[in-house]
Amino acid sequence: MSGDIHTLADVVGAPSTPASEGYLKHLTTLPLPDLLAEPTLLQTQAHYLTSSLVTLAHTSYPTFLAVHQSNAALNLSLKTLSTSLDTLVSDSLPALEQCASDWKNRTESVLKERKRARVVLEQHEKLRDLLNIPLLIDTCVRNGYFGEALSLAAHARSLATLFDNDAQSPPVLLSSILAEVDQSITQMLVSLLATLHEPHRKLPALFKAVNFLRRMNVFGGAANSTSPTIPIHSPVATKGTRQLEERELEDIARYLKKYIDTWREAVYDIVTQYSTIFLERSPLPSNPPPTKQQLRELHSSLHSLLSTYATHSLTKHLVATLSSALPLLAPPALPSLLTQLTYCASAFGRVGLDFRGLLADIMGKSVVAAVRRDIQAAGNVWAQELSGSKSGVKVNRVPSKWLISPSHVASPPLPSGTSTPAHIPPPLLASYPPLAVFTNALLTTLNGLRLLAPLHVKDALKHVMDEEMVNGGQALLRFAEAVGADEKLEEAEINIVRSCGEVYFGVFAPFVKRALVEGVYSSKAGESNEGHSGELAEVRRNWDTWTSSFPALPQS
């Protein structure tokens, strides 16, 4: 019984298989008698199967031997296959992968070169056209085909814009082509500027040159915005204003004469040609024909364009240049320019552009500026002579050595009360050389003013003269106070300074004012003897206050 239990335990503890599980479930369904008879039944079946196998082995032993041999051969083949696979995975495949990688590395540069050569061959025509662009531009520039040259240059630059959004720079070939294109365009710019400098070029050629310069954008935004309708005068006016600061003063008058002639010819040609083309010709026939109202509006618009251009050319170019250049000239140079401008304005009067009314104000301001400059220069010389240096008061010379002529040192001359004509300086002034030099400088300026003395600036010129008389009197007063404070100087030296002051305030100042009012403008004597201005009178009172502390001067 114990043997049966052991056998059952072995069956229960055996690995679980579908057959064993099905058998165990079958046992649970059997009644107890059948369950007790089950071991005997199993033993009987086992003996039956064993005997059947023995019989089969004896009767079919060749088959069993063949199966055994096939099984052994199969196991050997499987072991050989496993060994071959291990060798393939561990040795052959890495070697093959390494060879493939080496092949790729060796052939990569060759493939790139072949690909590049293939691309070059495919794009051969385009590359040849691209390489010919600099040569074509240079040829166009040399033969005067500037429009074609600019078109080719724009095409070359448009190719470079394709690389603007990329991180990489343009190809070296394209950069080299653009450099050659820029060089040719620079040569074109030089050629166009040389055209503008040629003296005998006709107006259409100059217009064409400036239009090309505008297309090249060499004027900048300011030039395009200020001169939208004047292609020829914009560079002339800009260039003229810049050169006026660099030219010597003696060349400005010659430059202005040429500028006025150039402006007159250019603007007059434009106005007359515009009038002939657009205002005097009848409009082209159209269907339906324009009404009278439309014709009037068209004619008014054309006249408005001409008026706008003429006004712009006059105010922005001629008047602006004259306003900046004329004040730099000396007064004797202004009359000839006024005559030239008057003839120019009269000529433009035939086309409705008479600008003679503008000349009075321009010339008046120029005369005042020129006279003011010359009078102030003479006054500065007088003040520096008195101060003995360019800054501050410094008494480094005794007055008898330089302020008065040697023949009058002993008895300095004083005003006598007699008057001289406005065009003849008082002989008394010659006794004081610095004062005589001051007088000659002022009379030289007034002689130049006589050639062109606008009446409406007389008061302004009188104010300039009074202002300089005040400055000169103040300089003389400072010098006199410094001389009086020097204890080393003798009383005779102080008397020389006092005598010079009396001549300055009593003879010199009234004479130069009369020379201006009566000698230049031929005003009445009463108009020229209006007395000192308020400031000059104040300086004279200060002078009298200073001299009152000294004894009266001896009469010569």
pLDDT band at 98 (very low <50, low <70, confident <90, very high): confident
Any idea which of 45-54, 336-345, 388-397 has the lowest mean pLDDT? 388-397
Taking CA atoms, 61 is separated from 2, 54, 55, 56, 83, in Å, by 39, 10, 10, 8, 33
Residue that is last in its domain, among 117, 142, 167: 142
Residue 46 inside a domain? The answer is yes
pLDDT of residue 247: 46
pLDDT of residue 245: 45
Which residues are CB-contacts of 209 (< 8 A; sequence separation ≥ 6)? 192, 195, 196
Q: Which of 378, 419, 413, 431 is nearest to 507 (CA)?
A: 419
pLDDT of residue 372: 92
pLDDT of residue 166: 62
Instruction: Supply 509's token pair.
Output: 């100042």
- Shared domain for 265 and 378, answered yes or no, is no
Residue 555 inside a domain? The answer is no
Mean per-residue pLDDT for 381-403?
71
Mean per-residue pLDDT for 291-306?
74
Chain mean pLDDT for the chain: 80
Helix and strand numbers, DSSP H then E, in the chain: 23, 0
- Shared domain for 335 and 389, answered yes or no, is no
Residue that is last in its domain, among 142, 168, 186: 142
pLDDT band at 435 (very low <50, low <70, confident <90, very high): very high
pLDDT of residue 469: 92
- Is the pLDDT at 319 greater than 80? The verdict is yes
pLDDT of residue 555: 66
- Shared domain for 35 and 97, answered yes or no, is yes
- Shared domain for 373 and 474, answered yes or no, is yes
- Is the pLDDT at 110 greater than 70? The verdict is yes
Mean per-residue pLDDT for 300-321?
85
- Shared domain for 410 and 453, answered yes or no, is yes
Residue 358 inside a domain? The answer is no
Residue 362 inside a domain? The answer is no
Mean per-residue pLDDT for 433-447?
91
* Count of all residues that appear for the chain in the document: 556
- Is the pLDDT at 470 greater than 70? The verdict is yes
CA distance 506 to 435: 13
CA distance 383 to 381: 6
Q: Which of 450, 541, 466, 532 is nearest to 501 (CA)?
A: 541
List pLDDT tens digits, range 18-29. 888 888 888 888
Please give the full DSSP string across 435-452, using - where no structure is assigned.
Answer: HHHHHHHHHHHHHHHHTS
Percent of the chain with pLDDT over 70: 83
- Shared domain for 178 and 33, answered yes or no, is no
- Shared domain for 508 and 396, answered yes or no, is yes
Instruction: Supply 475's token pair.
Output: 């300089």
CA distance 508 to 413: 13
- Shared domain for 110 and 166, answered yes or no, is no
- Is the pLDDT at 440 greater than 90? The verdict is yes
The number of folded domains in the chain is 4
Q: Domain range holding 202?
A: 145-216
pLDDT of residue 246: 43
Query: Do 363 and 326 form a contact (C-beta atoms < 8 A)?
Result: yes
HSE of 14 in the Cβ direction (CA atoms, 13 Å)?
13
Q: Phi-psi region for residue 352, left (φ > 0), alpha (ψ -120 to 50) or beta?
A: left
Mean per-residue pLDDT for 327-343?
88
- Is the pLDDT at 437 greater than 90? The verdict is yes
pLDDT of residue 13: 61
pLDDT band at 467 (very low <50, low <70, confident <90, very high): very high
Residue 439 inside a domain? The answer is yes
- Shared domain for 443 and 493, answered yes or no, is yes
- Is the pLDDT at 96 greater than 50? The verdict is yes
Taking CA atoms, 1 is separated from 13, 31, 32, 488, 516, in Å, by 18, 19, 16, 167, 167
List pLDDT tens digits, range 157-207. 888 787 766 656 778 888 888 889 899 899 998 988 888 788 777 767 777
Which residues are CB-contacts of 4 (< 8 A; sequence separation ≥ 6)? 39
- Shared domain for 207 and 259, answered yes or no, is no
- Shared domain for 175 and 95, answered yes or no, is no
Mean per-residue pLDDT for 291-311?
77
Residue 462 inside a domain? The answer is yes
Backbone angles phi, psi at 149, to 5 degrees: -65, -40
Please give the full DSSP string across 49-99, using - where no structure is assigned.
Answer: HHHHHHHHHHHSHHHHHHHHHHHHHHHHHHHHHHHHHHHIIIIIHHHHHHH
pLDDT of residue 7: 59
Residue 9 inside a domain? The answer is no
Query: Do 369 and 327 form a contact (C-beta atoms < 8 A)?
Result: yes
List pLDDT tens digits, range 503-513. 899 889 899 99
- Is the pLDDT at 392 greater than 50? The verdict is no
Residue 89 inside a domain? The answer is yes
- Shared domain for 22 and 166, answered yes or no, is no
pLDDT of residue 157: 85
Which residues are CB-contacts of 402 (< 8 A; sequence separation ≥ 6)? 433, 434
List pLDDT tens digits, range 223-282. 333 333 333 333 334 444 444 444 466 688 888 999 999 998 888 888 887 777 677 655
pLDDT of residue 131: 85
